[in-house]
Amino acid sequence: MSKTYRLGVLGVSHGHVNTLIDAFKALPSVEWVACADTVPSVPKKPSWRPAQILRSQERAGIPKVYQDYREMLEKESFDIMLFCPENAQHGEVAEAIAAKGIHMITEKPMSASLPDALRMVRAVRANNVELVVNWPTTWNRAIRKMKELIDAGAIGELWEVKWRNGASMGPLSYAQGANAWSDVEKGGEWWHHVSAGGGALLDYCCYGACLARWFVGAPAVSVTAIRANIASQYGDADDNAIIAVRFPRSLAILEGTWTTWNAGVPTGPIAYGTRGTIVADRGVVQVFTTQSYGRTEPDMVSEGDPLPEGRATLAEEFIHHLETGEPLHPTLQLQHNIEAMAILDAGIRSAASGKMELVDTPTWCIE
């Protein structure tokens, strides 16, 4: 690295902000400047966001905290901003960051809706800055190996991708014992409110939208979806969702769940081809190419290749991109993410209308 990059944090409502902070903290040429949160959309003072700000300060050594993020952007100078507010606030925040000429990184999903995501695209293009949407799956060696094998024709022609997240009882379910969240407390957080961009569809089906688009290598055409609130009536957001996607020559089934105690079986992703199947499970890829009507031993097992040296984390990848001009990993690029967001948006519309909804419309294409 040839320069020192001035970093800030804006919005801490998505816990993945910690992963982004830790990735950049590991780099030697980073100077932390300041952090700020956004105003919660749910009218209840959250119990964990002040702790998130404190964690950001202590973990990265961020010297300043602002109560108003717009004041922070006005008074401080940044090269890169990590922003993880509520999903529905991404457009507003991205516009404010871009207007100051700052590169920015956020966590999946890109936003809560396609119109909001397009708002982000317009802002970064108008101000000539970079926007990266990070996916934890991007850094999974086994998933990268899946893509390599699919492209090499290891299972013939790809005809279906299936994604289902593993065991999850929701984003606020990880605290145990005396620290466990009550239903009343969960209902006071943005995750369980549609207006804030909460729900399992955006939280987990987004991974499937990203990976299916990448594996298939072509834009989606149409979507049929359902959303349900099965066990989380303390909020109005869905805790389960299923999206069926039609690509030109293939299909995808994307499932998101906040009510699965134990997955029981490998959740994938799974790629079905005309000559075999690839299953990713706990960081291992299993390839089945022997025709069988019952379970057989895999014909190949792989953990995937090591990630490229100097590009093994989001922080390394982004700095490498800035300094060399080489393209980002495909799943981090803007066009890919707007197409993944279009799948999710069509899913939201389909769940509301009860009908199939088109993805491939001229209103959102940015190429």
Residue 111 tokens read as: 């936003």
**CATH superfamily, domain at 138-310+340-358:** Dihydrodipicolinate Reductase; domain 2 (3.30.360.10)
Neighbours of 91 (CB within 10 A): 22
How many residues are given for the chain?
367
Domain ranges of the chain: 5-136, 138-310+340-358
pLDDT tens, position by position, 204-249: 999 999 999 999 999 999 999 999 999 999 999 999 999 999 999 9
143 band by pLDDT with thresholds 50, 70 and 90: very high
* Position 44 pLDDT exceeds 80: no
pLDDT tens, position by position, 240-278: 999 999 999 999 999 999 999 999 998 899 999 999 999
pLDDT tens, position by position, 70-104: 999 999 999 999 999 999 999 999 999 999 999 99
Name, in order, each residue with C-beta under 8 angstroms of 171's C-beta and a sequence gap of 6 or more. 15, 191, 203, 258
25 band by pLDDT with thresholds 50, 70 and 90: very high
In this chain, the answer to whether the domains covering 5-136 and 138-310+340-358 adopt an identical fold is no
Query: Domain 5-136 classified CATH 3.30.450.20?
Result: no
Neighbours of 3 (CB within 10 A): 10
CA distance 367 to 362: 11
CA distance 226 to 243: 7
